[in-house]
């Protein structure tokens, strides 16, 4: 074997080894394009399906948007109509407000006049109320005097009746004496008149102080009250009556005017307004 | 004609050539198996066909 043959054999072997190694390395590092293709194909199918679903969803959403747009347009039209109606109502309301404002201004002037009239009437009422109270007080005093005069009149009448009876009795005695004198009887005999001797009138007994006096409310006029008991029952001025209704305390009454069978006073410690028929007592 | 017996001049170079042939054969087998693994058994046949 020649040297050239040996060299060629060695080089052939070396290059064969290098080429085989490079080839193995190249094939070992080569990509699996089929696997890539399958993966990409699967991914493409999935994406196509997803695209189809998205397209359907897009169409659905587009339809919904179209419906919503239609509804919104209808609602917008109705709102526009409502807006126009409201604007018309607002204009009408403003006109009414102006009219009412003018009326209010006129009524304000009228009310101012009324207020002045009411003030004048209130002042007149207060003055009249004071005059009325004075008149009531005067009336109570007059009633008291009238009762006193009536009592005096009754007393005078009783005295007059007594005197008339006395006169009759004396006339009867005189007539009897004249009859006896005419009959000639000289004996004197005591003449007994037919008319009995009457008692003179005397005032009623006044109840002693400190006793319980009870009566009823017969008249109520604002701050004045009239009771059914008077001086004949022992009532005096500045006495205090307690007005009750059942077991409930209503107020106190300080007596200011006393009549024979009635008295009047002012209210005090008012818990509740008394009424006609409530009980008045000096002791609770 | 009498058959002439051939004998290698040196076993070393024979071994080197045999080793080179084994390496080439092993590379061819590796490439074949890899191609079958990647693209299937038909790939070895279809790879030589003219693509339609």
Contacts of A20 in chain B (CB under 8 A): 23-24, 26-27
Closest A-chain CA to B43: A34
Look at residues A221, A231, A220 and name the one whose alpha carbon lies nearest to residue A263: A231
Q: What is the pLDDT of residues A14-36, one digit of tens each?
A: 999 999 999 999 999 988 888 89
Report pLDDT for A206: 45
Q: How much is the average pLDDT of A218-244?
A: 88
Of A206 and A181, more confident: A181
Look at residues A279, A193, A167, B18 and name the one whose alpha carbon lies nearest to residue A159: A167
Q: State the average pLDDT for chain A.
A: 88
Report pLDDT for A205: 42
> Using CA atoms, how far apart are residues B26 and B24, in angstroms rounded to an integer?
5
In a domain, B14, yes or no: no
Report pLDDT for A117: 93
Q: State the average pLDDT for chain B.
A: 83
Write the residue in B17, B24, B39 that is nearest to A20 by C-beta.
B24
User: Smallest CA–CA separation between B1 and chain A, in Å?
Assistant: 24
Q: Identify the band that residue A223 occupies on the pLDDT scale cut at 50, 70 and 90.
A: confident
Of A257 and B5, more confident: A257
Write the residue in A20, A27, A34 that is nearest to B23 by C-beta.
A20
Closest A-chain CA to B16: A13
Report pLDDT for A188: 52
Residues 6+ apart with CB under 8 A from A277: A216, A217
Give Cα B25 distance to the centre of its chain: 4
> Using CA atoms, how far apart are residues A152 and A201, in angstroms rounded to an integer?
10
Q: What is the pLDDT of residues A161-171, one digit of tens each?
A: 999 999 999 99
**Alpha-helical segments (H) within chain B:** 11-39, 43-46
Residues 6+ apart with CB under 8 A from A208: A234
Calculate Rg over the CA atoms of chain B.
19
Q: What is the pLDDT of residues A85-119, one digit of tens each?
A: 999 999 999 999 999 999 999 999 999 999 999 99
Per the structure, the count of domains in chain B is 1
Look at residues B6, B10, B16 and name the one whose alpha carbon lies nearest to residue A3: B10
Three-state DSSP at A143 gives helix
Residue in B38, B39, B41 to test binding to A, most A beta-carbons within 10 Å = B38
Q: Does B20 touch chain A (CB under 8 A)?
A: yes
In a domain, B31, yes or no: yes
Contacts of A35 in chain B (CB under 8 A): 38
* Other Cβ atoms within 10 Å of A16 Cβ, number: 19
| Cβ <8 Å between B13 and A10 | yes
Q: How far apart are the first and last CA of chain A?
A: 165
What is the percent of chain A with per-residue pLDDT over 90, rounded to a whole number?
52
Q: Does A6 touch chain B (CB under 8 A)?
A: yes
Q: In this predicted complex, what is the ipTM?
A: 0.78
CA distances from A130 to A6, A133, A138, A141, A155 (A): 162, 5, 12, 16, 37
Contacts of A26 in chain B (CB under 8 A): none
> Using CA atoms, how far apart are residues A186 and A282, in angstroms rounded to an integer?
68
**Which residue range(s) make up the domain with B47?**
25-52
Report pLDDT for A204: 45
Q: How much is the average pLDDT of A193-220?
A: 64
Report pLDDT for B6: 72
């Amino acid at each position: 074997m020649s040297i050239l043959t040996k060299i060629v054999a060695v080089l052939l072997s070396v290059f064969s080894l290098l080429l085989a190694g490079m080839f193995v390395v190249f094939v070992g590092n080569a990509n699996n394009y089929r696997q890539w293709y399958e993966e990409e194909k699967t991914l493409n199918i999935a994406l196509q399906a997803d695209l189809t679903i998205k397209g359907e969803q897009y169409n659905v959403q587009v339809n919904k948007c179209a419906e919503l747009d239609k509804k919104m347009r209808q609602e917008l039209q109705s709102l526009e109509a409502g807006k126009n109606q409201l604007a018309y109502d607002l204009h009408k309301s403003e006109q009414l407000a102006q009219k009412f404002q003018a009326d209010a201004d006129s009524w304000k002037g009228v009310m101012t006049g009324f207020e002045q009239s009411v003030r004048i009437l209130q002042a007149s009422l207060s003055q009249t109320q004071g005059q009325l109270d004075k008149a009531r007080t005067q009336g109570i005093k007059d009633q008291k005097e009238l009762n006193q005069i009536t009592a005096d009149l009754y007393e005078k009448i009783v005295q007059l009746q007594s005197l008339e009876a006395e006169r009759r009795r004396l006339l009867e005695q005189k007539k009897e004496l004249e009859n006896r004198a005419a009959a000639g009887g000289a004996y004197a005999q005591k003449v007994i008149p037919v008319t009995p001797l009457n008692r003179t009138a005397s005032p009623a007994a006044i109840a002693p102080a400190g006793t319980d006096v009870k009566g009823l409310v017969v008249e109520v006029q604002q701050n004045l009250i009239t009771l059914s008991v008077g001086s004949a029952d022992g009532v005096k001025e500045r006495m205090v009556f307690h007005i009750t209704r059942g077991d409930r305390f209503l107020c106190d009454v300080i007596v200011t005017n006393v009549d024979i069978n009635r008295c009047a006073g002012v209210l005090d410690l008012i818990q509740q307004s008394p009424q006609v028929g409530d009980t008045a007592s000096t002791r609770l | 004609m009498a058959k002439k017996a051939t004998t290698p001049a040196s076993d070393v170079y024979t071994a080197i050539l045999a080793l080179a042939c084994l390496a080439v054969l092993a590379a061819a087998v590796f490439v074949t198996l890899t191609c079958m693994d990647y693209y299937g058994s038909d790939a070895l046949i279809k790879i030589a066909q003219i693509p339609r």
